Structures are given as C-alpha cells and as structure tokens.
Chains A and B, each alone.
Chain A
Amino acid sequence: MIPLVIYVLIFVAAFIVVRILASRLSARHDFTSLKTVTFGDESAVRPDRWASVISLLTIFLLWGAFTGSKLVPVHVPGPFVGDTEFTYTLQAPDGSTDDATIFVRVFPIGEDVEQRATEPGPGFAKNDSITVGAWRSQLILFDKNDEITRKDGAQVIAIDGIPVTSGGAVQTTAGRVVVTPKGSLNYEPPKGMQMEPIWLPPPEAVASRVLEIAREGYQNFTLWEHLGWSLYRVVVGFMLGALVGIPLGYAMGLSNWFRGWFDPIVEFMRPVPPLALIPLVIIWAGIGESGKIILLFLAALWIMAIAARSGVSGVRISKVHAAYSLGASKWQVLRHVIIPNSLPEIFTGARVAMGVCWGTVVAAELVAAEKGAGMMIMVAAKFQLTDIVIMGIILIGIIGYGIDILFRIAERWLVPWKGKG
C-alpha cells in the first residue's frame, strides 16, 4: 500500500516538474502554440520519453528503497538490528511478583552472533539473553532459569509494565511480544518497512547473481545455454508452424474445399490455449525437445494459418481484377498480387505467434525441462532463490521484447506498404 502511494506521488510530482520545466524551456508562448488542437486526437499522442525514463527510474528507486539497496541513496526504515531489552513480570502462585529483563541481540541473517552476557539478577525471576535474526521471531523459554516456573503455576502478567494475559500481545519499544496460550513468550523485533531478501532481493543482489550465473552456469548448464535452448525451441517450433500454417492458410483462403475441411479444426484449436496442451504433449512426446517443439509448433500453427487466410481474403477484389485484365494468369495473380498483399497480415500474425511461443516455451519449461529459462526459475523457486527467479523474469522479458523489436524492424524493411493500401 505504501509503495503504491509513493509511486502515485512520484508520478504526479514528475508530471508537474517536467511540465513546468518543459514550458520554461520551450520558446513558444505565442498564440500559435495554443491554436493546434491535439487533445482528443489519438495520433497526436506520442510517448513522452522523459516520462519513460522517470518511470523506469522510479521502479528501480522503489525496488532499491524497499530492499535496502546500496545503489539507492534513500531507504525506508529497515528491520531493527542491534541490542535491546524488555522486562517481564512473573507472578508466583502465592501472588508475589518479580521482574526480570530479557536482553535481546538482533542480528542480520547469515552473520555470526554472540549472546549478550547477563547477570541472573535478584528475585525468583532471572534475567535471560537471546539472539534473534532480523525479520525472524523467537520463542523465549524465559523460565528455564527462573526459581519458580510455569510448572509451579507462575505466569507472566506484564511486559514492560503493561498488563498482559495468556494469548495476548504487547507492543513495546523493543518489539512485539506475544504470550502464547501455553504461557511462554514469543518475541518479534521491529521489522521496518523493507522487504526481506527472500521475498525481494535488492537490485545489486540480482545483478551479481546474473554475473555469477553467466560465469559459472546453473544446474549443469550455462546461462547462455539455458536462454539459447529456450530460443532454439521457439525458433524451430515457430518456423515449423509457419511452414505448415502459411500454406494451409493460403489453401483455406483460396479453395472452398480446403476452407470447409480445415475451418472446424482451426476454429476449434484457435481458442485452446497452448498451455492446455502441455499435459497431452508430455504424455505423447515426453519432456524432451520433441515435446517442446510439437507444443510450439501447435501454438504457432493456428495463428499463422489464420493470419495467412485473412491475408488472402483481405485482398481488394479490384487488385485481382486489375491483374487479370492486365493479362496475368491465375498463377501470376497468386504470385504477384495475393501473396504480396497477404504479407503484412502474415507479419502481424508472426509477431503474435512469436510472442505466444515465447510465453508457451517458458510455461512448458516451468512444468518439466532439464534446461531452459523457465526451468531455471522453477528450480530456483524451489530453493527459494528469489534473486535467480527475478533475474530469469527480467531476462525472459528482455528477450521477448527483443524478439518483438526485431520483428518490427523486419516489418518496416520487408513490408513498408503495410497499412498504406
């Protein structure tokens, strides 16, 4: 909740600041700048690059601030680390009471720690010393060394002077103390607002993990092999899907018989998410490469077939008529009119299919694989290696984005007439 509020505040503040700076810097303050109506004109909306940069920085900043990153100058309060103490008041069965102090040392997880030295102190309740890891809690068997114990009927009636009963809790300056139903104490030091690395590691931990895995590999394969295998599966599956799907789509767009024959199959298979096919493909082809490639082939096939079909059906009849009346044969119409006319649709389909394939391969690897990007994060999740999981997600995202950009560049280069017919 708090990160969301901060995020919204940064959004608003950045908007106002950039607006003010932009209007200061821009030279035009005359009426011409007001005349151009752009509001409501969708084509006049361009992404503000400053907003993009600040947006990414904000995410990074929030991530760092809430994980105690060394890369970020400001942090939200972290978990309490250091020494503190609180007292408990023990009441003996005869009604007499005695106070004792529990000396606490909270240490960062993963570091060695020594207990604080304590004097037992006077009275029947004796002082204790405990160590607690940051973000953890600790059950305190406080009466181990007391002269009158819970077995004798003694019970804690107050923490730091605040009355408490069995099952109740007290928030002290040292942290939260719960009296369990059995009468023992459970102590939680203040957690602050930062995320524990096991939930969300700081950015530098993820970065160093990337370097480490790039150098040493993970689960018997290098990082590049993991990513390369995922990409290889996508490329091969997509290619096979396109190789079969495009001619199939053309046939469906050009022949009644093919249309009738394949329409029910294509229309039925199209809404089936490829993920739903994973169990069947595993039964049929196992968890090896062939299973993955069959799955991706199926994921790409229907998309490419439908794209090719609509590319063919979308040809303006006047173009076909023009070609015929210029003396072109059927074959020449197909080669010089129908196929080039369908290319923009096929490119759009290919972009969609690549995206779906990339998602599907990661999901398939999550289910079962011995290498691959999805397998890497699945295994890491089992060992609670959150930094590897986050690294994997970021790399999967970058590769997916990269594939899409490559397709867009190829599209601009190969079908420059797209959307201009």
Chain B
Amino acid sequence: MTGLSIENISMRFDLPNGGAVQALKDVSLHLKPGELLSVLGPSGCGKTTLLNILAGFLAPTAGQIMLNGHRVTGPDAERGMVFQQGALFEWMNVRDNVSFGPRMKGVSAADYMPNVEHLLDVVGLKDFKDKAIYELSGGMQQRVALARCLANDPDVILMDEPLGALDALTREKMQGLVLKLWKETGKTIILITHSVEEALLLGERLLVMAPRPGRIHKEYRLPFADMGVGQDLRMVKKHPEFAEKREEILSMIWDMEEEIMGRAEAGAGA
C-alpha cells in the first residue's frame, strides 16, 4: 500500500517520579502520496511527539508507522524533517548545508550540484550559496532548511512549526513558498503549527488534536491550500468559509484549553 499509515499509535512517557504521561492514545491516520496535512492542537496534545515518532526519533509504545508498505523503525532519508530553528549546521555554508544529504549518501558533487543549484534558485538563495548560516536572516535560514530537506528527495516531509519563529510578513511569504514547493514536488507534507490561520492555509487536510491523552479530535478537508497555490494568500483569507472555519476551530481549541485549566483547578482544589 502506498502512502503513509499511522496505525493505532500510543505513546507513554514514564516520569522520574514513578508516574506516567499518556502523550498519544490510539492515533490512526492514512495519508495518500502528495497529501498536505496540517496538525493543530493546544500545547500538550502530543503533536510534536507524533511527528518525532513519524521521523523515527521515538519508538511508539504501541502501534506502528507504515510508509509505502514497509515499517518505520528509525530515522531515514525517506522522511525529511524541517525544524523550527537552529537545526542548520553553522560550520557549513549554505551550499554545504543543502547538499548535506546527498553528500552523506556518497553522491558525487557532479551529480548533486545541479539539483542543489536548482533548489537554491527555487527558494531564492542563489546569490547566498557561499554565505555562512549566521550571516542569513531567520527567514533565509528557514529557506535553507527547506532546500536542505528537498535536496534529499524524501517521500514525506515533516515540518515542526517551521515558520513559528518568523515575523508576520516573512511568515506569509514562506507560507506561499511551502505551497509552491508542495505543488511542484508532489511530496507528502505533514506540518505542525500553532497558528490556526496557517493550518487552514497549508492543509488539504487539517487535524485538530486534543490533549490528555493526545488523540485526534476532529479532521477537516479544506479547499484553501489548492486555492492558495500561486495566489495571494490574503485573498484566500478573505474567503467567507475561511473566516467561518477559523472561528470554529479557534473556539474548539479554546474549549479544550478551558477544560485543561478547569481540570488543573479542580486538581489543585482537591
């Protein structure tokens, strides 16, 4: 079976004080190749844990991940990851960061260079390829991270709040870039975000997760990602259905947050 299957994943963390936290409980999901999924949820709902399990950094306590018919057992180049910040290698220049994956596989420079040059062109960093990482702005750094991930040609791209640390204007430009890359490359992308707007814009499918234990609360299928490709994202945001969905999801998350607060207060009272 092609695509990415999340099959009954559960994850428990044992705490040093003897207790345990159920970070994820019985999460199942199937993604077809080329789907763009955004994941939303209040803090503590296990979305980063889920992403780490997908990447292979964590082994789930129950369940399994299947990608294109084989089981995921650890990190691999078929599942690329884009982090929020600080995951670039400062000791390499932009080009060496982007070509890191191919170089580790032993691909010769003659073979990977054209693709690396092309990707740098796509993310708009052609003139910066010899610059050091610390000479770039935050937005440029995230573009390097995207290019680095794409240079490896992964089947699935996992994004852990990749635009979370950027300013509003840069963030909007980067959202457009992510959509463009998604359409051009046809990769399966899973994007975790805190921003409801971003989740709506960058999700063909949108998953709202609920905390304690972390689980899928509700799933949406949305038209906005397709609408947004090559378009001004502000026009998409003006769509009446966009505002409606945003309000619906925001109040859903607010309810969850209030429930957590209430439970915490009850716990403190008891």
User: A residues within 8 Å of B by Cβ?
Assistant: 316, 318-319, 321-329, 332, 336-337, 340-341, 343, 415-417, 420-421
Contacts and interface: CB of A to CB of B under 8 A. Distances in A.
| Interface-central residue, B56, B75, B149, B158, by most chain A CB under 10 Å | B75
B40 interface: no
A419 to B, nearest CB: 9
B132 A417 contact: yes
B89 A326 contact: no
Nearest to B85: A318
A325 B190 CA distance: 15
Nearest to A332: B104
Interface residues of B, number: 29
A421 B86 CA distance: 7
Contact of B90 (A325, A326, A420): A420
B83 interface: yes
A416 B158 CA distance: 31
A35 to B, nearest CB: 25
B79 to A, nearest CB: 6
B121 interface: no
Given A417-B91, A420-B134, A323 B80 contact: no
Interface of B: 55-57, 74-77, 79-81, 83-84, 86-91, 100-101, 104-105, 132-134, 148-149, 152, 158
Nearest to B100: A326
Q: Which of A322, A323, A332, A343 has the most CB of B within 10 A?
A: A322
B132 A416 contact: yes
B90 A421 contact: yes
Contacts of A421: 86, 90, 134
Contacts of A321: 55, 57, 75, 81, 83, 87
Q: Which of B86, B87, B132, B148 has the most CB of A within 10 A?
A: B87
A311 to B, nearest CB: 12
A387 to B, nearest CB: 49
Given A321-B83, A420-B134, A326 B104 contact: yes
A319 B152 contact: no
A323 B80 CA distance: 10
Nearest to B133: A417
B152 A327 contact: yes
Contacts of A343: 91
Nearest to A419: B134
A340 B133 CA distance: 14
Interface of chain B, main secondary structure = loop
A249 to B, nearest CB: 19
A329 B90 CA distance: 20
Contact of B105 (A319, A327, A336, A420): A327
For the complex of A and B, 3 pairs with smallest distance between CB atoms: A327-B77, A420-B134, A417-B90
B79 A325 contact: yes
Contacts of A332: 104
B91 A325 contact: no
Given A327-B152, A343-B91, A421-B86, A336 B104 contact: yes
Contacts of A416: 132
Most chain B beta-carbon contacts within 10 A, residue among A316, A417, A420: A417
B87 A340 contact: no
A326 B79 CA distance: 8
Contact of A336 (B75, B83, B89, B133): B89
Given A325-B81, A417-B132, A318 B87 contact: yes
B100 A325 contact: no
A332 B106 CA distance: 11
A325 B134 contact: no
A326 B148 contact: yes
Nearest to B160: A318
16 contacts: A316-B86, A316-B87, A318-B83, A318-B86, A319-B88, A321-B75, A321-B83, A322-B81, A324-B74, A325-B158, A327-B76, A336-B89, A337-B89, A415-B91, A417-B91, A421-B86
B233 to A, nearest CB: 27
Contacts of A341: 91
A259 to B, nearest CB: 18
Given A327-B152, A420-B134, A322 B83 contact: yes
Contacts of B89: 319, 323, 336-337, 340
B3 to A, nearest CB: 19
A329 B104 contact: yes
A341 to B, nearest CB: 7
Contact of A324 (B75, B91, B105, B149): B75
A415 B149 CA distance: 25
Contacts of A327: 76-77, 101, 104-105, 152
A327 B107 CA distance: 12
A239 to B, nearest CB: 23
Contacts of B88: 319, 322
Contact of A340 (B77, B91, B101, B104): B91
B70 to A, nearest CB: 16
Contacts of B86: 316, 318-319, 421
A393 to B, nearest CB: 40
B132 A319 contact: no
Contacts of B56: 324-325
Nearest to B80: A325
Contacts of A322: 81, 83, 87-88, 148
A33 B264 CA distance: 53
A323 B79 contact: no
Given A321-B81, A322-B148, A327-B77, 8 more contacts: A319-B87, A319-B88, A324-B56, A324-B74, A326-B104, A328-B100, A340-B91, A420-B90
Nearest to B79: A325
Nearest to A326: B101
A332 B83 CA distance: 20
Contacts of A326: 77, 80, 100-101, 104, 148-149, 152
A417 B148 contact: no
B129 to A, nearest CB: 17
